[in-house]
């Protein structure tokens, strides 16, 4: 008989209150969106559709049409979806065809976090996009498009008295719900800088574009992420089509890019080198299916869109925002679009990508069913990036697909058919990567979702545009007491509550402050005289 002496087991909970007090993602409780012209006839209104998915909690909400002053209420159970096809009157009220400022928007509100998607579809020309919540919207964007005819974008104001700028030129002042719809007079607007005085929702809305010269033109619709969420490392999975294309846009001068798996594809307005790109310049890559994906690394944050190539039964071109690896999530609920007939789209897929070492931990639950491994495809590994991707057929048009992997994943969705396709990102984070700090390698906006044992905590910063020489370029405080000016440091914390403040000085001599509350609480469990 042996006696185990008294054992003390300590567990710690680390939470925080920093910036917006929560981790940022594509889920939210308030969204703004608009639609652009699809096809050559502005009077031919397409089928417009909204799809909403609730992940962890049921939700009730409202779809409000600002131009009409009408609304539609919805009620969604957890792990379920709600689909709303717009009536012809509703579609007309949000469909932009001429340049200017109009009240053609939709505001979606929800009691609990949901994911929102939208589709603009004619037979033989369609596209879809995810919709970003207002909590992650920003004031600085670059247009990323791919236009053969009439490139366009749409800006939706989320607050009154919002000034809008096109390449730093003032183009209008919008109130909440108003839309500025821009039509290019010079062709492709990729690399155009759009900024605002208050947060806006920004949509790339090409009337029609094509990459494969043998394919017809297709609508391009994608909400783009603000610059502060752009990253430096990307993995580009490849669809089952012959090859995909990628556009990479620089946010800063002196951007250098390295890549493995693609080749530079010269296009009008694009660069032919991956070195010394200036802000707003872009380079395009062609990524063949045989490459097993493309790995991209940049020295400054870049914005990336990936495109279906199109051709024959593979559909036409479609655009998709590509999140950086830094924006992975542990779970995603996707609601595949199955367009209302008539449609040429016959096959639908989710492309799931995750670290190769932990890819077998990826699970899917359909309609709230038991989690299982992915089925219908095979994992494809990319050695250079350490990532693998899986093309999973989406055959259930009613239920939502709940995907999980503790090591993180990203999800893109696409559908193809004869002369028609769509492509959009379905699950990713929207962390602020422009000015951030990390505790034990956990991004400050994710700390509330992670636990740490009390003891040593290591801090580090990742700041773009930091003042290179000022002695106060970085200043850390604990409970308003100055600690250090080092970019990385560590400290042993005992039980208690600590206010952590990081003050940053940028190269233009402006300041930013990140503050939060660090709580470390130990739970002691005492086990006495356990015998066996």
Residue 165 contacts residue 196 (beta carbons within 8 Å): yes
| CATH number where 525 lies | 2.60.40.10
Q: Average of pLDDT values for 39-44?
A: 90
pLDDT on residue 8: 24
Question: Is 361 found in the same domain as 419?
Answer: yes
pLDDT band of residue 313 (cuts 50, 70, 90) is low
Q: Average of pLDDT values for 199-227?
A: 89
pLDDT on residue 22: 43
pLDDT on residue 23: 52
Which one has a higher pLDDT value, 242 or 388?
388
Q: What is the mean pLDDT of the chain?
A: 89
Output the CA angle 344-347-348, nearest 5 degrees: 115
Question: Is 34 found in the same domain as 14?
Answer: no
Question: Is 355 found in the same domain as 226?
Answer: yes
Q: What percent of the chain has pLDDT over 90?
A: 68
Distance CA 162, CA 172 (A): 8
Query: Out of 47-61, 156-170, 500-514, which region has the weakest mean confidence (pLDDT)?
Result: 500-514
Question: Is 439 found in the same domain as 393?
Answer: no
Q: Calculate the alpha carbon distances from 480 to 174, 243, 365 in Å.
A: 40, 55, 46
Q: Give the pairing of strands 435-439 and 455-463.
A: antiparallel
Residue 436, phi-psi category: left (phi > 0), alpha (psi -120 to 50), beta (remainder): beta
The tens digit of pLDDT for each residue in 247-260 reads 999 999 999 999 99
Question: Is 131 found in the same domain as 195?
Answer: yes
Residue 202 contacts residue 144 (beta carbons within 8 Å): no
391 strand-pairing partners: 351
pLDDT on residue 528: 40
Q: Average of pLDDT values for 296-309?
A: 96
Phi, psi for 328 (deg, rounded to 5): -70, 160
pLDDT band of residue 498 (cuts 50, 70, 90) is confident
pLDDT band of residue 13 (cuts 50, 70, 90) is very low
The tens digit of pLDDT for each residue in 287-298 reads 999 999 999 999
Q: How many CA atoms lie within 13 A of 53 on its CB side?
A: 25
Residue 139 contacts residue 165 (beta carbons within 8 Å): no
Question: Is 372 found in the same domain as 275?
Answer: yes
CA of residue 143 relative to chain centroid, distance? 15
Residue 109 makes CB contacts below 8 A (sequence gap 6+) with: 29, 30, 31, 61, 62, 64
Question: Is 494 found in the same domain as 412?
Answer: no
Q: Average of pLDDT values for 265-270?
A: 94
pLDDT on residue 329: 94
Is the pLDDT at 525 greater than 70? The verdict is no
pLDDT on residue 216: 67
Last residue of a domain, one of 411, 427, 443: 427
Is the pLDDT at 526 greater than 60? The verdict is no
379 strand-pairing partners: 390
pLDDT band of residue 1 (cuts 50, 70, 90) is very low
pLDDT on residue 312: 57
Q: Average of pLDDT values for 132-137?
A: 97
pLDDT on residue 235: 98
pLDDT on residue 3: 30
pLDDT on residue 379: 98
pLDDT on residue 118: 97
Q: Is the dihedral of CA 326, 112, 32, 122 positive or negative?
A: positive
Q: Average of pLDDT values for 33-48?
A: 94
Which one has a higher pLDDT value, 454 or 416?
416
Q: Look up the domain containing 140 and give its range.
A: 28-427
Last residue of a domain, one of 399, 427, 455: 427
Please tell me the total count of domains within the chain: 2
Residue 96 contacts residue 37 (beta carbons within 8 Å): yes
The structure tokens 């040429």 sit at 344
Question: Is 354 found in the same domain as 304?
Answer: yes
Q: Average of pLDDT values for 262-275?
A: 96
Last residue of a domain, one of 393, 427, 461: 427
Which one has a higher pLDDT value, 16 or 414?
414
Q: Is the dihedral of CA 369, 373, 376, 381 positive or negative?
A: positive
Residue 421, both tokens: 């396709």
pLDDT on residue 186: 80
pLDDT on residue 281: 98
The structure tokens 């580090």 sit at 460
The structure tokens 């690394």 sit at 297
Cβ neighbours, 10 Å, residue 109: 16
Cis peptide before 342 (omega within 30 of 0): yes
Question: Is 360 found in the same domain as 482?
Answer: no
Distance CA 300, CA 280 (A): 12
Residue 353 contacts residue 426 (beta carbons within 8 Å): no
Question: Is 189 found in the same domain as 264?
Answer: yes
Question: Is 459 found in the same domain as 409?
Answer: no
Question: Is 182 found in the same domain as 96?
Answer: yes
Alpha-carbon Rg for the chain in angstroms:
24
Residue burial 206-237, b: 16+ Cβ < 10 Å; e: rest = bbbbbbbeebbbbbbbbbbbbbbbbbbebbbb
Q: Average of pLDDT values for 318-338?
A: 91
């Amino acid at each position: 008989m042996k006696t185990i002496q008294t054992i003390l087991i300590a567990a710690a909970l680390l939470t925080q209150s920093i910036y917006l007090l929560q981790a940022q993602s594509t889920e939210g409780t308030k969204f703004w969106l608009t639609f652009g012209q699809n096809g050559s006839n502005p009077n031919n209104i397409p089928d417009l559709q909204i799809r909403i998915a609730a992940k962890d909690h049921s939700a009730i909400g409202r779809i409000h049409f600002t131009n009409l002053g009408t609304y539609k209420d919805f009620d969604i159970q957890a792990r379920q979806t709600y689909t709303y096809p717009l009536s012809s009157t509703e579609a007309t009220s949000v469909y932009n065809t001429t340049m200017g400022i109009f009240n053609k928007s939709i505001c979606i509100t929800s009691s609990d976090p949901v994911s929102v998607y939208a589709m603009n579809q004619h037979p033989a020309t369609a596209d879809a996009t995810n919709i970003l919540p207002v909590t992650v919207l920003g004031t600085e964007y670059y247009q990323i498009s791919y236009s053969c005819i009439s490139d366009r974008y749409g800006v939706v104001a989320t607050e009154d008295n919002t000034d809008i700028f096109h390449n730093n030129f003032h183009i209008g002042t919008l109130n909440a719900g108003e839309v500025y719809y821009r039509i290019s007079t010079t062709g492709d607007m990729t690399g155009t800088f759009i900024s605002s005085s208050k947060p806006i929702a920004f949509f790339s809305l090409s009337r029609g574009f094509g990459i494969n010269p043998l394919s017809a033109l297709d609508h391009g619709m994608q909400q783009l992420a603000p610059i502060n969420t752009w990253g430096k490392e990307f993995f580009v999975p490849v669809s089952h089509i012959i090859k995909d294309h990628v556009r990479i846009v620089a946010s800063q001068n002196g951007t250098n890019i390295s890549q493995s798996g693609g080749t530079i594809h010269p296009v009008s307005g694009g660069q032919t080198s991956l070195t010394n790109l200036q802000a707003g310049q872009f380079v395009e890559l062609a990524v063949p299916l045989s490459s097993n994906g493309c790995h991209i690394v940049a020295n400054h944050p870049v914005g990336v869109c990936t495109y279906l190539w199109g051709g024959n039964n593979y559909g036409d071109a479609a655009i998709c925002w590509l999140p950086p690896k830094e924006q992975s999530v542990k779970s995603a609920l996707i609601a595949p679009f199955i367009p209302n007939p008539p449609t040429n789209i016959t096959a639908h897929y989710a492309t799931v990508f995750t670290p190769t070492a932990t890819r077998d931990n990826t699970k899917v639950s359909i309609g709230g069913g038991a989690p299982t491994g992915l089925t219908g495809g095979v994992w494809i590994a990319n050695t250079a990036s350490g990532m693998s991707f899986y093309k999973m057929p989406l055959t259930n048009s009613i239920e939502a697909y709940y995907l999980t992997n503790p090591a993180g994943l990203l999800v893109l969705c696409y559908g193809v058919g004869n002369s028609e396709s769509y492509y959009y990102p379905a699950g990713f984070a929207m962390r602020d990567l422009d000015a951030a700090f990390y505790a034990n390698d956990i991004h400050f906006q994710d700390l509330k979702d992670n636990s740490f044992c009390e003891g040593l905590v290591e801090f580090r910063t990742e700041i773009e545009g930091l003042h290179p020489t000022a002695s106060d370029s970085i200043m850390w405080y604990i409970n308003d007491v100055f600690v250090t000016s080092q970019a990385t440091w560590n400290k042993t914390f005992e039980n208690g509550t600590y206010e952590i403040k990081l003050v940053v000085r940028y190269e233009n001599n402006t300041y930013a402050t990140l503050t939060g509350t660090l709580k470390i609480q130990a739970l002691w469990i005492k086990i006495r005289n356990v015998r066996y």
